[in-house]
């Protein structure tokens, strides 16, 4: 058996000493680290503030309820019944976070926040190995400058998957050289397996890892059996949750987000569009200030040492990461039947590393590097300021935009919410004050025949057996309640009531939400199966 022997490349010095004297040599040496610390603090403050203050939405409440209102055995039974279609790792992480912080918005989002910050650290370490700390700081800031950053404070598995995927990529690089090379295959295996147990689509990270390893084998003309074993064995983590996989596959034909080529474009737009402004600002500041300084100093500028070119296998891995949305779309069309831009967020790892490499090729002096990093950090701080301020403010009323509907309806009148995404947050936050009047109606057979099954409604029906939500069949409810109110955005419900000859009166409209009073007296008998 071949014994893997990592190459040991000569270390590349960060800078070449300049002829001019340094007034603060220690400060200059610490500048790259200070920039990264500033990036990290700004990211933590902004994202933690949003994680604590932003109201929970529909999917996050599923996470909170399944993580904190069931036992571990109950969680397994719920997932096996199809209440939610994810593996159990994220729910268990939220359960642990709730023990630390108390069940609520912050605990629900805490594992995602930690995952996102781990991804930034891993990107920094990956890029710094090749091109130094300044470029690494720019690379590490890149995810927080994209719309991917919203998943750092969303209580779903995507932020955690991003962090574990970044750890796997870093472990793969460390195998090439450096401390920890012998443990790298084990770390890579654990990271990939953990990511898959948080979300099934995390298996896609094996694609760039395999591409990089294939190129490494061709270039080295030797096979690293330990790394290949790690990559080959990690997908078998799904065998530990196979009953949940089987349950999820049952709902694939009616999944709410079938694959579409537009989703691939949305995945790239999520990453690339927000980077235009910080890239332009950094380029403008670096060119303008750097040019003025260079002319004034008459060439007495401290020049950074030539960068080391990343090896071909790293280039291949990074390009494969960037291509991950395409790979995810192919997987969805060929096998799963489900796809969304957030399933392939790991593409931001490739874009971030490319941003670091590109920055290193352009920033050839310490001064221009400091200007570029400072500009990026200012843009990042401006974007995170709202979240940071939220840390010092009282959390806003999560029902502020819906109070008008609650005030306009008598407290003892049934209030039917027309859309699942509106119903669950409203029911959740009302239940905290003891108000349980809101109701959700599942689609009757004739509506299912015309529009298809209601994925969210089906999930709410299953969740109601776990936490006691008031979810009722349409036919039974309208027979038992001749008068009630309907609130929410447009859906199947109002047209169905009109077809059943109900009398509807618009009470008030606000944005996309409408409030109707409904009188079923004189209405025809609702359709029955």
| Per-position DSSP letters for 374-408, written without gaps between them | HHHHHHHHHHHHHHHHHTTSPPPPTTGGGHHHHHH
Q: What distances in angstroms separate CA 480 from CA 169, 473, 477, one per listed residue?
A: 58, 11, 5
Q: What is the pTM of this model?
A: 0.89
Arithmetic mean of pLDDT, 225-244: 94
Q: What is the pLDDT of residue 1?
A: 46
Residues in the chain: 529
Mean pLDDT taken over the chain: 87
Expressed in angstroms, the distance from the first to the final Cα of the chain is 66
Per-residue confidence at 17, pLDDT binned at 50, 70, 90? very low
pLDDT of residue 438: 94
Q: What is the pLDDT of residue 385?
A: 86
Q: Would you say residue 161 has pLDDT above 50?
A: yes
Q: What is the pLDDT of residue 8?
A: 47
pLDDT level of residue 204 (50, 70, 90 thresholds): very high
* DSSP state string for 169-224: HHHHHHTTSSTTTTTHHHHHHHHHHHHHHH-GGGGGGHHHHHHHHHHHHHHHTS--
pLDDT tops 90 at residue 144: yes
| Per-residue pLDDT at 369 | 82
Between the alpha carbon of residue 308 and those of residues 137, 484, 494, the distances in Å are 17, 71, 65
pLDDT of 370: 82
| pLDDT above 60 for 6 | no
Mean pLDDT lowest among 77-86, 116-125, 301-310, 356-365? 301-310
Task: Inform me whether the pLDDT recorded for 343 exceeds 70.
Answer: yes
- Specify the pLDDT at position 393: 80
At 312, the pLDDT band (50, 70, 90 cuts) reads very high
Structure tokens at 163: 């962090």
Q: Please determine, for residue 287, whether its predicted confidence score (pLDDT) is greater than 70.
A: no
Mean pLDDT of 107-117: 97
Report the C-alpha gap between 48 and 53 in whole angstroms. Answer: 9
Average pLDDT over residues 189-216: 97
Query: Cβ distance 315 to 235 under 8 Å?
Result: no
pLDDT of residue 382: 87
What pLDDT is attached to residue 524? 59
Q: 5-11, long-range: CB within 8 Å, 24+ apart, which pairs? A: 6/175, 6/176, 6/177, 6/178, 6/181, 7/176, 7/177, 8/177, 9/177, 9/308
């Amino acid at each position: 058996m071949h014994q893997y022997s990592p190459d040991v490349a000569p270390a590349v010095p960060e800078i070449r000493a300049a002829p001019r004297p340094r007034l603060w040599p220690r400060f200059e040496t610490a500048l790259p680290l200070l920039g990264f610390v500033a990036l990290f603090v700004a990211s933590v403050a902004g994202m933690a503030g949003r994680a604590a203050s932003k109201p929970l939405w529909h999917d996050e409440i599923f996470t909170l309820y399944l993580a904190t209102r069931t036992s571990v055995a109950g969680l397994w039974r719920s997932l096996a019944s199809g209440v939610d279609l994810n593996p159990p790792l994220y729910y268990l992480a939220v359960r642990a976070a709730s023990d630390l912080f108390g069940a609520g918005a912050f605990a629900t989002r805490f594992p995602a926040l930690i995952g996102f910050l781990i991804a930034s650290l891993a990107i920094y370490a990956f890029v710094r190995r090749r091109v130094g700390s300044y470029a690494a700081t720019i690379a590490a800031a890149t995810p927080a400058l994209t719309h991917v950053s919203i998943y750092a404070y969303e209580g779903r598995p995507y932020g955690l998957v991003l962090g574990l995927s970044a750890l796997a990529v870093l472990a793969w690089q460390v195998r090439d050289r450096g401390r920890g090379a012998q443990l790298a295959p084990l770390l890579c295996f654990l990271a990939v397996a953990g990511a898959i147990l948080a979300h099934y689509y995390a298996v896609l990270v094996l694609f760039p890892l395999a591409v990089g390893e294939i190129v490494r084998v061709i270039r080295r003309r030797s096979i690293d059996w330990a790394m290949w074993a790690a990559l080959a064995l990690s997908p078998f983590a799904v065998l530990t949750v196979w009953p949940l996989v089987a349950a999820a596959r049952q709902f694939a034909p009616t999944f709410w987000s079938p694959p579409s080529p537009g989703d691939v474009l949305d995945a790239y737009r999520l990453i690339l569009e927000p980077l235009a402004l910080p890239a332009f600002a950094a380029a403008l500041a670096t060119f303008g200030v750097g040019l003025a300084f260079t002319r004034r100093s008459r060439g007495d500028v401290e020049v950074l040492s030539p960068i080391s070119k990343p090896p071909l296998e790293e280039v291949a891995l990074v390009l494969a990461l960037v291509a991950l949305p395409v790979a995810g779309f192919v997987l969805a069309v060929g096998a799963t039947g489900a796809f969304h831009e957030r399933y392939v967020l790991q593409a931001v790892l490739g874009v971030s590393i490319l941003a670091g490499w590109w920055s290193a090729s352009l920033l050839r002096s310490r001064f221009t590097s400091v200007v570029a990093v400072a500009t990026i950090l200012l843009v990042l701080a401006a974007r995170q300021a709202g979240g940071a301020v939220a840390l010092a403010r009282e959390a806003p009323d999560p029902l502020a935009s819906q109070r008008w509907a609650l005030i306009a309806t008598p407290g003892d009148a049934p209030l039917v919410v027309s859309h699942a995404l509106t119903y669950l947050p409203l029911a959740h936050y009302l239940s905290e004050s003891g108000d349980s009047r809101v109701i959700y109606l599942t689609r009757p057979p004739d509506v299912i025949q015309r529009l298809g099954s209601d994925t969210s409604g089906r999930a709410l029906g299953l969740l109601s057996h776990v936490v006691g939500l008031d979810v009722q069949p349409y036919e039974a409810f309208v027979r038992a309640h001749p008068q009630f109110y309907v609130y929410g955005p447009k859906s199947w419900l109002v047209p169905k009531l009109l077809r059943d000859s109900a009398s509807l009166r618009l009470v008030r409209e606000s944005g996309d939400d409408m409030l109707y009073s409904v009188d079923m007296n004189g209405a025809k008998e609702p359709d029955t199966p």
